[in-house]
Amino acid sequence: MSPDMIIDWLQATLRWGAPLILVAMGEVFAERSGIINVGIEGIMLTGALAGIAVSFFTGNVFLASIGTMLLGALLGLGVAYLTVSRRTNQVVTGLMVNLAALGGTNLLFALLSESRHERVATFPLLFPASFSEIPVIGPILFRQPVSTWFALILPFFAAYFLYRTDWGLNVRAVGDNPKAAATAGLPVIKLKYEAVILSGIFAALGGAALTLSEVGYFASGGMTAGRGFVVLAAVVVGGWDPVRVALACLVFGAADAAQLRMQAMGSTIPYQFLQMLPYVITLIALAGLVGRTRAPKTWGAPYDPADI
């Protein structure tokens, strides 16, 4: 493999890993509060279509981002109501959201005009084009859209809020022992709602980053291709720590970028096997961590205030 191909692969690793990181940061807070938002796959898919639609009608990717985040907050609120207030099964609720999003986005996309096949405005580069001429690091770092840079710095802010603020401490306390947190006067239900809504916002934003970072169009039939489930695995692999989770997302992004380039090189390996590569790595990583990670103590368990 030539140096240029390696540089191109590293550039694509950051670009494909960025949407996963965005989704994962919200999911970390949700799971730290004890709620597994399995519906991030569907919310991500909905955000991908919403970003394209708003960008098409307004021509402004930042308005598209804001609209996508508002939609994600609304969907996150729905998930929070079902899993926190109604105490529904979190896995079943998430699967319901994913199926509804798959059918809903296909229907809405089909209802758009013929212009739906046109490329829309995408996120701009953060640095001047001249920066990309710097050897090695120029193409890798400075040809990235603003969404990628946002994703790369976000884990450090997420870690700060999780470990260094009262709100982050309260979210962790709620996830580990909600009854003790409620006894201490913490608003358990409110904190869980906030964490799940946050996961919805970043899941939708990650979907928008998937479509608006470079390609500028939406493909019906499940454009996210299971990336939301990869994020769920990355959160476990990263031990619910924002920075380590982000590194896990980059590993999965590297696998995705590698399989795409192997297909483009005309590899003799069947393309179906190459498409499996990121998910195989996910399974191997999860299998290797069995019994080695410590989840929040009430991870996935419903909270009933009447049990206090």
214 domain-assigned: yes
Q: Residue 291: what pLDDT?
A: 56
What residues form DSSP beta bridges with 215? none
52 domain-assigned: yes
Domain that holds residue 21: 3-225
d(CA 140, CA 159): 25
* Contact call for residues 228 and 42 (beta carbons, < 8 A): yes
d(CA 259, CA 263): 6
95 domain-assigned: yes
94 domain-assigned: yes
Q: Can you read off the two tokens belonging to residue 284?
A: 């191997």
Where do we find the tokens 């499996």?
A: 276
Q: Can you read off the two tokens belonging to residue 153?
A: 């710095």
Q: Residue 8: what pLDDT?
A: 87
Q: Positive or negative, the Cα torsion across 52, 96, 201, 239? A: negative
> SS3 string of the chain?
CCHHHHHHHHHHHHHHHHHHHHHHHHHHHHHHCCCCCCCHHHHHHHHHHHHHHHHHHHCCHHHHHHHHHHHHHHHHHHHHHHHHHCCCCHHHHHHHHHHHHHHHHHHHHHHCCHHHHCCCCCCCECCCHHHHHCCCHHHHHCCCEHHHHHHHHHHHHHHHHHHHCHHHHHHHHHHHCHHHHHHCCCCHHHHHHHHHHHHHHHHHHHHHHHHHCCCCCCCCCCCCCCHHHHHHHHHHHCCCCHHHHHHHHHHHHHHHHHHHHHHHCCCCCCHHHHHHHHHHHHHHHHHHCCCCCCCCCCCCCCCCHHHC
d(CA 11, CA 171): 35
299 domain-assigned: no
Q: Residue 264: what pLDDT?
A: 64
102 domain-assigned: yes
Residue (of 275, 293, 276, 187) closest to 237 by Cα position: 293
247 domain-assigned: no
* Contact call for residues 42 and 102 (beta carbons, < 8 A): yes
Question: For the chain, how big is the Rg over CA atoms in Å?
Answer: 19
Where do we find the tokens 């109501």?
A: 81
Task: Report how many domains make up the chain.
Answer: 1
Q: Can you read off the two tokens belonging to residue 285?
A: 């990583």
166 domain-assigned: yes
* Contact call for residues 68 and 123 (beta carbons, < 8 A): no
* Contact call for residues 229 and 20 (beta carbons, < 8 A): no
d(CA 260, CA 280): 15
d(CA 194, CA 201): 11
Please give the average pLDDT of every successive group of 10 residues along the chain, which has 308 residues: 81 93 97 97 95 90 95 97 95 96 89 67 86 87 93 97 97 95 95 98 96 84 85 92 94 83 66 70 70 80 79
Between vectors from CA 25 to CA 69 and to CA 303, what angle results, nearest 5°? 90
Q: Residue 91: what pLDDT?
A: 95
Q: Residue 289: what pLDDT?
A: 61
Write the burial class of residue 1 (CB in 10 Å: 0-12 exposed, 13-18 middle, 19+ buried).
Answer: exposed
